[in-house]
Amino acid sequence: MDAQAAVDELALLSTQVVEAVVVAGDDVAGATTTGDRAAELALVGRELLQAAGGVTADGAGVERVEISLDSGGVLVVRDGERLIVATTVPDATPGLVLYDLRTALRRSALPERKRPPRRRARREQRDA
């Protein structure tokens, strides 16, 4: 599944996610929003991970950041070089949203599966 399909699926399934952006390297690979807003969310996600990494005792890479505000939240999840950034509705359930984000991020990195050719039904084979 490509990144755009993964965030589209996330938007359909998660009622708590308002916007989401998948970032691969320096590029927005998929987003529920467009243009400057997608780029802004990608930048915010990278900066939040970097800032959080700067305050850890051993400087280890941070895999997730969660910010809760009265007006909603911002969550960032990293998996290797890829990350997903999302804004949420107020009072979202962080554990559920993090699960949804991790799932979407992993799915966005999966190669497209080719479907095997459909086999003809036995009746079609008998009639032929």
- What is the band of 111 on the pLDDT scale with cuts at 50, 70, 90? low
The structure tokens 């927005």 sit at 28
Residue 121: is its pLDDT beyond 70? Answer: no
Region of residue 80 (phi > 0: left; psi between -120 and 50: alpha; otherwise: beta): left
Average pLDDT for 81-94: 94
- What is the band of 53 on the pLDDT scale with cuts at 50, 70, 90? confident
What is the set of domains in the chain, with CATH numbers?
A: 3-111 (3.30.450.30)
Average pLDDT for 54-62: 72
CA gap 47, 9 in Å, rounded: 26
pLDDT at 126: 59
pLDDT at 115: 47
| Dihedral angle of Cα 83, 85, 91, 96, to the nearest 10 degrees | -30
The structure tokens 């529920």 sit at 32
Please state the φ and ψ torsions of residue 37, each to the nearest 5 degrees.
-65, -40
